[in-house]
A and B are shown apart, each in its own frame.
Chain A
Amino acid sequence: MAKQLRNIRENLLLALDTLRTHKFRSFLTVLGVLIGTTTVIGVASIITGLNNRLVDTMEQYGSRSIYIFKFEPGIRFNLTREERMRKPLQYQDAVAIRQYCPDVEEVAVDMFYNGPAPGAKYKGQEMLDAGIQGATAEDFSINGATFVDGRPYTELEDTHRLNVAVIGSDITKRFFQGEDPIGKDIIVGGNTFRIIGALGKRLSFLGDNSDDRTVYIPYWTFRKIYPDAKENLIVAMATPNRMNEAMDEITAVMRRMRKVKPDQENNFGMATADSVIKQFNQITGMVALVMVVLSSIGLLVGGIGVMNIMLVSVTERTREIGVRKAIGARRQDIVWQFLLEAMTLTGAGGVMGIILGYVLNFSIRTLFPSVPSSVPLWSVFLGFLVSISIGLFFGMWPAMKASRLDPIVALHHE
């Protein structure tokens, strides 16, 4: 065993020596391997970064939150006839969920503004991209909103349809630099609201989070001001560790409320932090697959280059092989010598690829801070392993060829 290790070490030193002798040629040869490895690391780190950020973003809204929509969440290009005919979710649906779902702890109802952002005004200053949303008081606690100042509105303020507001962090930043926003009046879409709370900054997935630009007003106030708005979003919070049960109960209640016949599909959709992350993983899985195919092509081309250069190397060093065999090298010694040389070659390409991958990752983070890329350790191991395997695989034939040389024929090679 020690003897085996010593031989490997010996061959490794030899291989490194050969690499040093042919720096440029070696570099060109492993360019394919280098690019392949960099691609693997680069794409893996972007995917990992996006994934981590998505998880963080979703988790701030609570892992127990269940969102109920009119449509199944996800990207789609056209709606079916049935989907076009669906009626909006009703406030009554939320009431029913609260009443009939034992595993639901709390329920909130949100209502969105229909159309382009109305913008907000404060003391002659204007913020054009500010939005407005109606939300019941429970919304803040279920969605894990943090208050840096003030308080959420009460149920009483909601049912009395008072013009009070809780503002997102970007609005505070825009209008109230060094000023206390609480008690100030803000104008949104021509209506004046008294600010009673200011929210902390939300994490965002890509770009900024529109929640930070939103003025939250009580649900019933919203309905009074915007009687035409129809689309409700219901958010339910499950009791701890009862997510599945809660979802089953909600499904049953919603089917009853929306009069779905037993043989019909649900005519509403549900999402959780988990389901959003899963959906995203499906997309990134596809991206990863494309990456694997692309980098495989690079690695294959690189591998053929390695095989070619190893054949050249064997021919160039035929006399050396003859000498080694003449003084007692066995076939396996020669095979290992050339295999290790090929693996060192591609391994070095892999290491350079990994380094380049880190550089790439660093550049992405500095140039595009919103893409939170980070190099996952598994991709480093994978990249290194694959690059070495390329050497092993494509170096096999040249190494076998070298080992089968007849000593005298090799010694007499010109």
Chain B
Amino acid sequence: MEPFSTTEPEVGTGRDGYDSPSPDNIVILAQDLWKTYDMEAISVNALSGVSFSIVRGEYVAIMGPSGSGKSTLMNLIGCLDTPTSGQYWLNGRLVSELTDDELAYIRNKEIGFVFQTFNLLARASALHNVELPLIYNGTPPAERLERAEEVLRKVDLGDRMDHRPNELSGGQRQRVAVARALINNPSIILADEPTGNLDSATGDEIMNLFERLHQSGNTIVLVTHEHDIAARAHRIIHIRDGKIDRDEKVG
């Protein structure tokens, strides 16, 4: 765990019921992350110095007003974007030093990302959208289909597999996005408002699914606006104007 030998960041307060953070069980370690968008006239600080750590098996909710930088932060955690400054370690590896192929592998195998805007392929069926990550790690077609069908059934879309995204409701699309994030059994699940378009019953089902994943040892980070969703997590990070406002333990 070489990166830790340099600057040991300050980690959050102790959380009862979990291992106290140590170099061995920290999966996500962010230190002074900044993200600045240079516009023509002004520059926008979407993130202004965010530091935190998340240990393996934690269940974290991120809350904050619209435009506070939640999605920006999730994209950084998901290795989809690079910070303007600051450092980010994932499983002890400094992400800025990873090669393109290593990043692709992480996005494929280690992280399941549910996008706020779903980001499904418009021309492909739900089934194909869900099996897509498996294509990029060379899973044989038969196994791909089997697993995609299984996970689609898990999100209650067994009867909509051949539908294209534009033939699905917003909530159904969201569930396809969740199914796609889960197909590779990633150890970290990052979900940007995964229940934003769902009625409370379906939302509950998704949350139950996350709960089960959490119980089987997965690390879960989700963004939400709803307090009762956030309350199911064990820790809530509040963000305001690109900064961590409050980091509270719940549950």
Chain A residues packing against B (C-beta within 8 Å): 3, 6-7, 10, 17, 21, 319-320, 322-331, 333, 406-408, 411
Contact = CB atoms under 8 A, between A and B. Distances in A.
Interface stretch (B129-137, B145-153, B217-225): B129-137
Given A323-B119, A408-B80, A411-B119, A328 B138 contact: no
A331 B101 contact: yes
Given A326-B119, A329-B104, A6 B80 contact: no
Interface string B55-85: 0000000000000000000010010110000
Contacts of A6: 138, 140-141
Interface of B: 75, 78, 80-81, 100-101, 104-105, 107-109, 113, 115, 119-123, 132-133, 135-138, 140-141, 180, 184
B136 A330 contact: yes
Contact of B108 (A7, A17, A327, A407): A327
B173 to A, nearest CB: 13
A329 B138 CA distance: 11
A19 B78 CA distance: 33
Contacts of B115: 326, 411
B136 A326 contact: no
A329 B100 CA distance: 10
Given A7-B138, A326-B107, 18 more contacts: A6-B141, A322-B119, A323-B120, A323-B121, A323-B132, A326-B78, A327-B107, A327-B133, A327-B136, A327-B180, A328-B107, A328-B137, A329-B108, A330-B100, A330-B104, A331-B100, A407-B80, A411-B80
A325 B120 CA distance: 12
B79 to A, nearest CB: 9
Nearest to A332: B101
Given A330-B100, A408-B80, A21 B105 contact: no
Given A326-B113, A328-B107, A333 B138 contact: no
Contacts, number: 66
Given A3-B138, A328-B108, A320 B121 contact: yes
A74 B104 CA distance: 68
Contacts of B121: 320, 323
A409 to B, nearest CB: 9
Contacts of B135: 7, 10
Contacts of B107: 325-328, 407
B109 A328 contact: yes
A329 to B, nearest CB: 5
Nearest to A6: B138
B180 to A, nearest CB: 7
11 contacts: A6-B140, A17-B123, A323-B120, A327-B136, A328-B136, A328-B184, A330-B100, A330-B136, A331-B101, A408-B81, A411-B115
Contacts of A327: 107-108, 113, 132-133, 136, 180
A325 B75 contact: no
Contacts of A17: 123
Contacts of B122: 320
Contacts of B81: 406-408
A325 B119 contact: no
A10 B138 CA distance: 10
Contacts of A324: 132, 136
A327 B113 CA distance: 8
Contacts of A319: 119
Nearest to A329: B136
